[in-house]
Amino acid sequence: MMAKSKEVLAGKRAKRRIAVVPHTHWDREWYEPFQTFRLRLVRMLDQLLGLLESDPSYARFLLDGQMAVVDDYLAVRPENEERIRALAAAGRLSMGPWYILLDEFLVSGETIVRDLQMGLRRGAAFGSTMEVGYLPDMFGHVAQMPQVLRLAGFEHAVVWRGVPSAVDKTAFVWEALDGSAVRAEYLVTGYGNGASLPSDAKELVRRITDHEKEIGDFLIDDMLFMNGTDHQEPQPWLGRVVEEANAIQDDYALEVTSLADYLRGRRSDGLVTWRGELRSGFRANVLMGVASNRVDVKKAAALAERSLERRAEPLNALFVPAQDWPGALLDLAWLEMVRNAAHDSSCACSVDEVIDAVLVRYAEARRIGDGLAEQALTALQRSLAQPGPTVVNVTARARGGMVEVVVPGEDVPPGTQALPDEPGAFGIPRGMGPLTLDATTVKTILGMLPSGSQIDTHTWIQDVRVEEDESGIDIAIVFGPEERFDVPLASIKQDLYTRLGARPDSIVRIRIDQPAVRRVVARVDAVPGFGWRPFAPAALEHPVTVSEPAADDPAPVVVSNGLVTVLVDGTDGTFAIDGVAGFGRLVEGGDHGDSYNYSPPAGDRLVDTPDSVSVTVTEHGPVRAVAVVTAAYTWPDHVDGVTRARTGSVTVTVTTEIELRAEERAVRVTTRFVNPASDHRLRVHLPLPEPAAESEAECAFAVVRRGLDAEGRPDERGLPTFPSRRFVTAGGLTVAHEGLLEYELVDIEDGPSGRRAGTLALTVLRSTGMLSRLGMSYRPLPAGPLTPVEGLQLRGRPIEARYVLCVGCDDPYALADDAFIPLDVVYSPGGGTRSPTGRALEVEGAEVSAVRRVAGLLEVRVFNPTDRPAQVRTGERSGWLVDLKGRTLEAMDGSFELRPFGIATVRLAGD
């Protein structure tokens, strides 16, 4: 302190410390495919390891905060693992904390947590992990990120994009919705402010002086100089030039250091506090249009997340013995999910080869999830004491709902609704006469049959009878809807082989007995959370009825269940819910933007009127009614590159199914078409029952509230198109969806109580043909390479948009679960030990994010999406609250209090 005052008195300012952090930002895949970037990664790391080992003045290196860089390298250079371990142990190489630098808005909260846990685990294998929430390039940040970081024990974050104008220093306090906070170091001009360091010391000092002028008002004290950028190789002269720069001047003290060392001990006193998400484009692009490009990728992500998080993990944790927990398969699936979470991967701002790979990874993760869920349901099915169909509820809350079930007999049971008959198993019509074949053919068929008794989802072999006389061999196979364990298939097969072998010239007559069954839909009463109960059709208090006008009558089709009434307008194809008209209006406009941003073409013209409309009713209740709107449109073909105006025309037929079920307030909508055009955006407009000044959208572990505007700047229009994970609420309307991440409140008018929006626009499709573009009206400068990417157009691709509308919905989480996580039905053979009705786990009072096994124990992650404290109850089960590293926080005996907007992980004792 004394020395500093003396310097000030002498008119000489104290030396400013310049923390040079050498690093590289390694997008695993982006404008080049993964393997191309990996060749560069191997070259870069080969060079870097040698440099670190031979030059102590190249003191530190930040491996971009993501362990994928290390694993991708070691897959090619396994022999260098010890070298990396030694450098990490010496503090020269920073490991993790992430597995991948993800996008925070386009993946689930669980994916964020798993990414961090995977990175911490992998980093720990090298001795230590960087305990800094390094988030350098993400396209904005979710509101609960500070809480996630705190739950891993971190006190610091490092951010760039999304920081609002309210922050005007190089650090601020970033607070999550629950109040937990980290100190956030703000990279005012990005993670590359010290990229490509000159080898000349004078020039380096000049660079630092210029940068100090550029961001001088932001500086609190020291200056962080991030020496790296996208895929940058290390500059071997770093240590020398830093030493020389220190020798030739007295203004700066340069030091090669690490982020963790730079941040250690830095305090938050006097810093501005920002609470919640960071989505401002005030100083850097936030690239909000990535939420709506390649809608197929977003949907694939939603399906895979649901398969793993909401089905495979809870079903296996609860219904499969702990020792059979399929950890290795789930790890494989999660590795694919986490790799896809990378900001250039899930954001699909990449070349087609990359997006193809992303889709394959999502498909593989989902196949693993679906297969494991099926296995766990089979385990449950076999464990039940009572035979017959049983309904399973894989969500935490007790709930009834509609199920599709196969019942024996010709009749449609009371309270159910028949579905069209399906052909029998193998497509063989029921009641077909015997099939006559020769013995050799039958032998061939036998060899091709699967070994189990299951024929298809609803059909098992119940019995096989073989008889023989002079005229030939008769085989009668009985199919049935329940699994049987007492059919000795192997010995029957062996017996048949013997008989066929003994009489190779004989005739074989095969008869298949398929008892009559009906496929029906029915409503079932509440099934316990994480529980099951025998299938029984519930009495319908609010059956669905349909009134259809005569062919030439312009009156609407009316679908109602007494709780909600839907009128489908045959003139324009829209529908009304409880008197609010205009739902489902498709609004098509041009998009001369790119994968990152929407940007309208010159003189854009919107098309929202169909050329023709027809409405048919395909299901009439009482359990479910479906009206189908078929609408033909003429859309412009593409945007002309020279005039930047839309030109040409194409026709398209769009079908929209509008479904209402008994006892439900939700209206389910599915829109399908084959995209016929390029350079355009299609949104469905949904009128708000009440004008709205804000929206509430689901993001990771929270619902966030947003106004009608977004902060931007001339270089990037502050477009208030926002992401929602599974649902968004505004003006009394809740929309839950399957990966339709982008919404905007539109039709904004000034009223007596301020600006209010009348409509929620949900993006169904955004097609552009460029990774990045120059000179766009909404974002003039490029955000990436100016590469044409045909796949971004999705031209000629089938598009299916699924969403659910609910007016006056009281629980959007329940709405989203009911809409997209159906009740399951298993067909029990009976004879097990599990009681006919029960529940495997009780979790009440909070939303459940994960149920899985960790080291044999049941681990449950919950969050409180409300602003009130919640009492979380786990029935009779006690356990321990743990942090995201699995460290015990406190004991829990059947219940614990969860702070408003809090996230908690609990491990339960016993099985």
d(CA 766, CA 812): 26
What's the N-to-C CA distance of the chain in angstroms?
60
**Closer CB to Zn ion, residue 27 or residue 483?**
27
Q: Site residues for Zn ion, window 825-884 (CB under 5 A)? A: none
d(CA 500, CA 124): 62
Q: CB of 195: closest distance to Zn ion in angstroms?
A: 13
**Closer CB to Zn ion, residue 72 or residue 591?**
72
**Closer CB to Zn ion, residue 27 or residue 679?**
27
Binding mask 772-811 for Zn ion (x = CB under 5 A): ----------------------------------------
Q: CB of 27: closest distance to Zn ion in angstroms?
A: 4
Beta bridge partners of 273: 173
Q: Is 753 in a helix, a strand, or coil?
A: coil
One-letter amino acid at 9 equals L
Q: Site residues for Zn ion, window 578-637 (CB under 5 A)? A: none
Q: CB of 795: closest distance to Zn ion in angstroms?
A: 28
- Look at strands 824-828 and 857-863 and give their pairing: unpaired
Angle in degrees, 0-180, between the axes of helices 327-340 and 295-305, rounded to the nearest 10: 150
Asked if omega into 537 is within 30° of 0 (cis), the reply is: no
Q: CB of 279: closest distance to Zn ion in angstroms?
A: 17
Q: What is the dihedral of CA 290, 295, 297, 303, to 10 degrees?
A: 120
Q: Give the residue nearest to Zn ion (CB).
A: 137
Q: CB of 233: closest distance to Zn ion in angstroms?
A: 16
d(CA 359, CA 175): 35
Q: Give the binding range for Zn ion (CB under 5 A) out of 21-29, 697-705, 741-749, 783-791.
A: 21-29
Q: Give the binding range for Zn ion (CB under 5 A) out of 5-13, 137-145, 580-588, 614-622.
A: 137-145
d(CA 519, CA 406): 4
Q: Measured in whole angstroms, how far is the alpha carbon of residue 532 from the centre of its chain? A: 27
**Closer CB to Zn ion, residue 27 or residue 817?**
27
**Closer CB to Zn ion, residue 343 or residue 644?**
343
Residue keyed to tokens 């929407």: 598
How far are the Cα atoms of 601, 851, 861, 873, 874 from residue 892, in angstroms, in the given order?
59, 17, 14, 10, 9
**Closer CB to Zn ion, residue 137 or residue 175?**
137
Binding mask 171-210 for Zn ion (x = CB under 5 A): ----------------------------------------
**Closer CB to Zn ion, residue 137 or residue 591?**
137
How far are the Cα atoms of 240, 696, 700 from residue 730, in angstroms, in the given order?
59, 6, 19
**Closer CB to Zn ion, residue 342 or residue 391?**
342
Under 8 Å between Cβ of 211 and 223: yes
DSSP state of 573: S
Q: CB of 25: closest distance to Zn ion in angstroms?
A: 6
**Closer CB to Zn ion, residue 28 or residue 306?**
28
**According to DSSP H, which parts of 433-474 are helical?**
439-448
Under 8 Å between Cβ of 405 and 825: yes
Q: CB of 521: closest distance to Zn ion in angstroms?
A: 47
Q: Is the dihedral of CA 262, 268, 271, 272 positive or negative?
A: positive
Q: Give the binding range for Zn ion (CB under 5 A) out of 66-74, 133-141, 794-802, 823-831.
A: 133-141
Q: Counting contacts by CB under 5 A, is residue 29 touching Zn ion?
A: no
Q: CB of 189: closest distance to Zn ion in angstroms?
A: 15
- Look at strands 857-863 and 435-438 and give their pairing: unpaired
Token readout for 362 is: 């999502």
Q: Site residues for Zn ion, window 263-292 (CB under 5 A)? A: none
Q: Is 362 in a helix, a strand, or coil?
A: helix
d(CA 434, CA 471): 14
Size of the site for Zn ion (CB under 5 A): 2
Q: CB of 287: closest distance to Zn ion in angstroms?
A: 11
Q: Give the binding range for Zn ion (CB under 5 A) out of 25-33, 470-478, 658-666, 677-685.
A: 25-33
Q: Give the binding range for Zn ion (CB under 5 A) out of 134-142, 185-193, 459-467, 899-907.
A: 134-142
Q: Counting contacts by CB under 5 A, is residue 137 touching Zn ion?
A: yes
Q: CB of 347: closest distance to Zn ion in angstroms?
A: 9
**Closer CB to Zn ion, residue 137 or residue 716?**
137
Q: Give the binding range for Zn ion (CB under 5 A) out of 136-144, 449-457, 578-586, 614-622.
A: 136-144
Q: Which run of H or E residues covers position 158?
A: strand 156-159
**Closer CB to Zn ion, residue 137 or residue 185?**
137
Q: What is the dihedral of CA 445, 447, 452, 457, to 10 degrees?
A: -40
Q: CB of 902: closest distance to Zn ion in angstroms?
A: 31
**Closer CB to Zn ion, residue 283 or residue 306?**
283
Q: CB of 64: closest distance to Zn ion in angstroms?
A: 9
202 Ramachandran zone, left/alpha/beta (phi>0; psi -120 to 50): alpha
Q: Counting contacts by CB under 5 A, is residue 27 touching Zn ion?
A: yes
Q: CB of 699: closest distance to Zn ion in angstroms?
A: 21
**Closer CB to Zn ion, residue 190 or residue 236?**
190
Q: CB of 112: closest distance to Zn ion in angstroms?
A: 17
**Closer CB to Zn ion, residue 596 or residue 901?**
596
Q: Give the binding range for Zn ion (CB under 5 A) out of 22-30, 388-396, 519-527, 814-822.
A: 22-30
Q: Give the binding range for Zn ion (CB under 5 A) out of 20-28, 59-67, 163-171, 464-472.
A: 20-28
One-letter amino acid at 511 equals R
Q: CB of 18: closest distance to Zn ion in angstroms?
A: 24
**Closer CB to Zn ion, residue 142 or residue 826?**
142
Q: CB of 30: closest distance to Zn ion in angstroms?
A: 7
Under 8 Å between Cβ of 748 and 720: no
Under 8 Å between Cβ of 508 and 471: no
Q: Counting contacts by CB under 5 A, is residue 32 touching Zn ion?
A: no
Q: Measured in whole angstroms, how far is the alpha carbon of residue 697 from the centre of its chain? A: 15
d(CA 210, CA 4): 24
The burial class, CB within 10 Å (0-12 / 13-18 / 19+), for 519 is middle
Q: Site residues for Zn ion, window 721-740 (CB under 5 A)? A: none
Q: CB of 68: closest distance to Zn ion in angstroms?
A: 12
Which of 594, 595, 596, 711 has the alpha carbon at shortest distance from 277?
A: 711
Q: Give the binding range for Zn ion (CB under 5 A) out of 7-15, 129-137, 493-501, 523-531.
A: 129-137
**Closer CB to Zn ion, residue 69 or residue 521?**
69
Q: Give the binding range for Zn ion (CB under 5 A) out of 23-31, 152-160, 455-463, 740-748.
A: 23-31
d(CA 216, CA 157): 21
Which of 659, 591, 668, 672 has the alpha carbon at shortest distance from 626?
A: 659
Residue 497, φ and ψ in degrees, nearest 5: -55, -45
**Closer CB to Zn ion, residue 101 or residue 892?**
101
Q: Is 319 in a helix, a strand, or coil?
A: helix
Q: Which residues bind Zn ion (CB under 5 A)?
A: 27, 137
